[in-house]
Amino acid sequence: MASWLTIDAFLAGEGTLLDVRSPAEFAQGHIPGARNLPLFSDLERAEVGLTYKQQGSQAAVQAGLALVGPKLASLGDALLAHRHAGGAGPLRLQCWRGGMRSASVGWLAETLGLPVQLLEGGYKAYRRWVLGCFERPWPLLLLGGRTGTGKTDLLLELDRRGLAVVDLEGLAHHRGSSFGGLGLPPQPSNEHYENRLAAALLSCAGVSPIWLEAESAQVGRCRIPAGLWRQMQAAPVLEIRRPLEQRLSRLVAVYGVQDPEDLAEATRRIARRLGPLRTQEALSAIERRDWREACRWMLDYYDRCYDHELERQRRRPEPGAAHHSLDLHDWDEDRSATALQQHQLQLQGQARVNSEGVIEESA
C-alpha cells in the first residue's frame, strides 16, 4: 500500500525521487535531486487540460487513459530500472498537487511489487515549504570584498573544511556582474534557484554561522528571495581586502580564457554605466588581448560601485549588521581561509590563537 507523506518526511526519506510531471514543468523547477519520469509529454498534458476545460473531468480522465494505456509497459520498465539503480528505500513519487498523476504511477509501481511513497500536496506543497524556508531565521555571516578579492574561492575552501556555506553564485551559475555568466552553464529559472537555495540552507540547519557572499539582490537573472535578502541586510559582514595587483591577477585567470567577443559584448552592455572613456579603453584593451589592462578599467568602475554601496550601508545600518575587515595580502586560499576562521572565531569570542598561529577553540 502506497503511503502519503508530508513534505518534511518526504524530503527526509531515502530512495529515488521521481517527478512525474511533464518535461516543461520539470524544467521550470523541481525538487533538487529528482528525476523526471513524465506520465504525459508537454503536448499530451496540454491536450488533457484542454479536454478538461471544454468537456469536464470525466472526459479528461478518459483522454488521459487513452494516452497512458500504450505506455504502461515502458513506464513499468522505467520504474523497475529506477528502483534497481536507487538501491535501498522506496520509490518517492510526486506530481503537481499530489493528485491523479502521482497516484496513477504509484498504483503501477505497487502492481509491480515496488514500495512507494507519495508526496501530500505534490510540488505545490513543496513550493510553499521552499518559500517558508526563507522566512525562518538563519545565523548568517556575509563575506564581503571588492571584485577580484577571491570571495567565491574562499567560500569553497571553507566548504571543503566542513564549514556551513551557501554559494549564492554557484547555485545561480553566475558570478554576479555583466561578465558573470561567461564560461558557465545556463542559469536556472528563478523558481529553481529558490529550490536550490532552500535545499542548501536545509543542509546547514543547526550549524552557526552560515557563510554567504555579500551579494546584490540580483545574481544574473536569478533573484535572492525577499525573506533571505532581508536577513542578509541585517547580518554581520566580514570584508576581505587584497592588493590591486593580486586582484587583477585573479580576474585575468578567470576572464582571460574567455572568448574576446563575449568579453567585448559584456562590456558594451554596461557602456552607459562605465562611461565613454572607460568603455573605449576597456574595448581597446580587449582587442589587443591585454586582459590585465581591460580588467583594470573594469575595476575602476566596480570599485566605485562597491564603495558607494558600502557607504550607503554604513549610513543606514541595520541592527546586528556589524562590519569588520581583514587584509589577506597575497595569501593563497589555504592561508586566507585559516585567517578568516581565526577572525570569525575571535569576533565570536570562541577562540584564541596560540604561539604557532593555530586556532584553539574555547572550551
pLDDT 10s digits, 118-167 = 999 999 999 999 999 999 999 999 999 999 999 999 999 999 999 999 99
Whether the CB-CB separation of 310 and 299 falls below 8 Å is answered with no
Whether the CA torsion 34, 36, 42, 46 is positive or negative: it is: negative
Q: How far apart are CA 128 and CA 298, in angstroms?
A: 41
Q: Which residue has the higher pLDDT, 94 or 348?
A: 94
**Cell 554567504 maps to which residue?**
212
Question: What grid cell was written down for 49?
Answer: 487540460
At CB < 8 A and 24+ separation, what contacts does 262-269 make? 262/182, 263/179, 263/182, 263/294, 266/178, 266/179, 266/182, 267/178, 267/294, 267/298, 269/178
**Cell 517558508 maps to which residue?**
132
pLDDT per residue over 16-32, tens digit each?
999 999 999 999 999 99
CA proximity to 146, closest of 317, 291, 267, 327: 327
Is pTM, for the whole model, over 0.85?
Answer: yes
pLDDT, position 362: 47
Has 95 been annotated as catalytic?
A: yes
Whether the CB-CB separation of 88 and 14 falls below 8 Å is answered with yes
> Class for domain 137-361, per CATH?
alpha beta
**Cell 550601508 maps to which residue?**
313
What is the residue extent of each domain of the chain? 3-131, 137-361
How many CB atoms are located within 10 Å of the residue 219 CB? 24
pLDDT, position 353: 43
Phi and psi at residue 5, to the nearest 5°: -120, 150
pLDDT band at 355 (very low <50, low <70, confident <90, very high): very low
pLDDT, position 354: 45
Q: For the chain, give the mean pLDDT.
A: 90
Tell me the CATH number of domain 3-131, given options 3.50.50.60, 3.40.250.10, 3.40.50.1820, 3.40.30.10.
3.40.250.10
Q: How far apart are CA 340 and CA 158, in angstroms?
A: 9
pLDDT band at 89 (very low <50, low <70, confident <90, very high): confident
